[in-house]
Structure 1
Amino acid sequence: MSWFGSDDDDEPEFDESDVRVRPNPKANRPRTKRRPAHDDAISGLVLSVDRGRYAVLVDEDGGDEHEIVTSRARELRTNAIVTGDRVRVVGDTSGAEGTLGRIVAIEDRSTLLRRSADDTDKVERVIVANADQMVVVVAAADPEPRQRLVDRYLVAALDAGIRPMLVVTKRDLADPSEFLSHFAGLDLEVFTSGRDDVPLERIGAELVGHTTVFVGHSGVGKSTLINALVPDAGRATGHVNEVTGRGRHTSSSTVSLRYREAGGSGWVIDTPGVRSFGLGHVDPTHILDAFTDLAELAEECPRGCTHLPDAPDCAIVEAVAEGRLGDRGPARLDSLQRLLTTFRLSP
């Protein structure tokens, strides 16, 4: 039989258009944005991040709390997953050696502590998620305290809606009174400590029921303080270089640690020491919002008022000059203006 033409009327005629090509199912399958529902996913808390692997605590409230190692799902490849994140995990969540779970979703975050490379860089680097408190650790000496760096931490905390606190270490080496006077106008809880006098109970009482991120310049004693609060933390400690006056970076990663005491528990997040802290991402209105008494007065300011000393017809400046805020008014205004100026300056 001839397939391409025949003199026999009973035989069908075919040409190349009649040949049916078998499709490639993978190449011709329509793309879809639908993703698995992951109804079997369980909740977890990211404790640390290390080169694409995430230590996650699961069954935190189920009585079988344990740590697992996870990777991120492909659909989250453009999303930053950081210490403190609450996530959804599938796969092997037994925590057995050699097993690997998979993070498939990041739950809504209550706060984000961020920094930028410098004040002109709008690209933010997320440090931790869901912290509601920040402890700024600074040394009274060795290394010398840096007011502007502390100001930057405070601005970042206020922008994120995080309550800041201040711990001054090495009180036995220098009197921190003059340094602390710069922060007199702030509603800021301050703790001071010396070599043999660390107020662990007072600091610890503030940690219960909270997630608290600890930040500070290298060499100020931050890791030493965390080791005292969390005895099994095992955070590396270092010393200050006698020539440069700078501390050595001892904490190389951000890690979340459980704080426990008789009155309850909380989470302590240790971060690597830094020497600069960019604020390119900050919304300056958040700084004013932290000064509730001054924010009310600002409603009477002209549109676009900077609230700085040279701002014309600033209602806050006028109220302080007239004594309407009492003896504390000038210190409050000075703190606000210093933080607003800090936001506008380079490190």
Structure 2
Amino acid sequence: MARPARQRRYDEDDVRVRPSKGSRPRTKERPAHADAVPALVVAVDRGRSTCLVTGPAAAGDDPGGRRVTAMRARELGRTGVVVGDRVALVGDTSGRVDTLARIVRIEERRTVLRRTADDTDPVERVVVANADQLVVVAAVADPEPRSRLVDRCLVAAYTAGMDALLCLTKGDLRPAAEVLATWAPLGLDAVVTRREDGALAGLDAVRERLAGRTSVLVGHSGVGKSTLVNALVPDAGRATGAVNAVTGRGRHTSTSMAMLALPGGGWVVDTPGVRSFGLAHVEPGAVLAAFPDLAPGERECPRGCTHDEPDCALDAWVAAGRAGAAGPARLASFRRLLAARRGEEDRGEREERAGRAR
């Protein structure tokens, strides 16, 4: 007969107490970070932001300010940090090698330049914050100007509340007036640069329009954007490249966005070359707001009017002369911008193509 197993005695060492989830009571109050250091984000790369600390906090540093590497604090949640943001830093803001600060606050943005990956992508992506001016850089030739890309950039600038400037490069290859005529009805400010005796001419006009402002340069690859930046900021060191002789397109040289201080005051943001500029987030009414001479005519439009259909009241508004002498050309330009937003031909282009077919 088997002997019964001896019952084991338990003592205090066998008692396990589960630790609580937190040793401190939870609270919704967040630290104020009253001692946070103000800074400007000049570059963002793989979750790390290069911030420029200026003002009293950077006293004794180099005149351009102290560069500090920082990461976004958890308390910011999903809020992204972009070039141009004014932020508040805590932690090690000395800027020494292998140190890392935390971005605990993003100040309210004055302007936001947005784009989407394409016209069917509902997700907006912030390109840059707090810029005053969008400079659309295009070449008059080599490569040929892509008017629809320029139009899309103008739509993005108008809806962001930014001024727009057209900068045509390579003016020595073709008369710039032929290209400028496309945007003349918009009253768009424009400058032209060209090569003369191996140097870049026309820079004085560009500097005049950039002085004291934060300007974003946007354009497709090969138009001379990086060459322009290197001429404006001699120590920028932005990579430059040539146009592909087979495809007629430029090669990507700038692979990252950089915010650079202009010698005469102001900032210029160099962006990588773009092949497309999605505008899925832009509504037609936002584009029309950039045309104050046409906007009042919208009141007579039928409900849901796309402003590019036979019943659009803007045609009658212009025909009555209520938009001024430039009304017809302005309306055509407005509809071209709407068509560029949709990624298709506008009504005038369709009618012209149909006439050629007949």
Whether 1:161 aligns to 2:161 is yes
**Cα deviations across residues 19-65 of structure 1 (Å, max 9, x unaligned)?**
99745134576544433221211111000011111100112465632
Match of 1:344 among 342, 345, 358: 342
What is the CA distance between 1:247 and its match in structure 2?
0.7
Alpha-carbon distance in structure 2 between the residues aligned to 1:219 and 1:181: 22
Structure-2 change in CA distance of 1:272 and 1:291 (3 Å): same
**Cα deviations across residues 108-167 of structure 1 (Å, max 9, x unaligned)?**
111111111110111112111111100000001111110111111111111111111101
- Partner in structure 2 of residue 318 of structure 1: 316
Alpha-carbon distance in structure 1 between the residues aligned to 2:247 and 2:205: 33
- Partner in structure 2 of residue 228 of structure 1: 231
| Superposition map of 1:66-145 within 5 A | 66-145=66-145
Match of 2:331 among 306, 330, 333: 333
- Partner in structure 2 of residue 178 of structure 1: 178
Alpha-carbon distance in structure 2 between the residues aligned to 1:164 and 1:232: 26
- Partner in structure 2 of residue 195 of structure 1: 195
Note the residue ranges of structure 1 that are not aligned, 5 or more in a row: 1-15
- Partner in structure 1 of residue 40 of structure 2: 45
Structure-2 change in CA distance of 1:27 and 1:325 (3 Å): closer
| Superposition map of 1:195-344 within 5 A | 195-196=195-196, 198-261=201-264, 265-308=265-308, 310-314=309-313, 316-344=314-342
Alpha-carbon distance in structure 1 between the residues aligned to 2:152 and 2:17: 65
The structure with higher relative contact order (CA 8 Å, sep 6+) is: 1
Counterpart amino acid of residue 212 in structure 1: S
Counterpart amino acid of residue 331 in structure 1: A
Alpha-carbon distance in structure 2 between the residues aligned to 1:137 and 1:270: 11
Alpha-carbon distance in structure 1 between the residues aligned to 2:119 and 2:56: 41
Alpha-carbon distance in structure 2 between the residues aligned to 1:313 and 1:173: 41
**Structure 2 counterpart SS, 1:249:** coil
**Cα deviations across residues 6-29 of structure 1 (Å, max 9, x unaligned)?**
xxxxxxxxxx9xx99745134576
**Structure 2 counterpart SS, 1:260:** coil
Alpha-carbon distance in structure 2 between the residues aligned to 1:283 and 1:101: 39
Match of 1:36 among 27, 31, 35: 31
Most deviating of 277-286 and 216-225: 277-286
**Structure 2 counterpart SS, 1:104:** strand
Note the residue ranges of structure 2 that are not aligned, 5 or more in a row: 1-10, 60-64, 346-358
Counterpart amino acid of residue 210 in structure 2: L
**Cα deviations across residues 210-241 of structure 1 (Å, max 9, x unaligned)?**
11000001000001111111111111111111
Alpha-carbon distance in structure 2 between the residues aligned to 1:326 and 1:96: 60
**Preserved contact between residue 58 and residue 66 of structure 1 (Cα < 8 Å):** yes
What is the CA distance between 1:76 and its match in structure 2?
2.5
**Preserved contact between residue 170 and residue 193 of structure 1 (Cα < 8 Å):** yes
Most deviating of 210-219 and 280-289: 280-289
Structure-2 change in CA distance of 1:61 and 1:151 (3 Å): farther
Alpha-carbon distance in structure 2 between the residues aligned to 1:208 and 1:278: 29
Alpha-carbon distance in structure 2 between the residues aligned to 1:63 and 1:42: 9
Alpha-carbon distance in structure 2 between the residues aligned to 1:58 and 1:311: 56
Counterpart amino acid of residue 287 in structure 2: I
TM-score with structure 1 length normalisation? 0.88
Alpha-carbon distance in structure 2 between the residues aligned to 1:153 and 1:146: 11
**Structure 2 counterpart SS, 1:54:** strand
- Partner in structure 2 of residue 11 of structure 1: none
What is the CA distance between 1:344 and its match in structure 2?
2.0
Structure-2 change in CA distance of 1:179 and 1:244 (3 Å): same
Alpha-carbon distance in structure 1 between the residues aligned to 2:83 and 2:272: 13
**Cα deviations across residues 187-214 of structure 1 (Å, max 9, x unaligned)?**
3111112112532121111112211000
- Partner in structure 1 of residue 5 of structure 2: none
**Preserved contact between residue 60 and residue 66 of structure 1 (Cα < 8 Å):** no
**Preserved contact between residue 45 and residue 58 of structure 1 (Cα < 8 Å):** yes
TM-score with structure 2 length normalisation? 0.85
Most deviating of 167-176 and 113-122: 167-176
Alpha-carbon distance in structure 2 between the residues aligned to 1:206 and 1:331: 26
What is the CA distance between 1:99 and its match in structure 2?
1.6
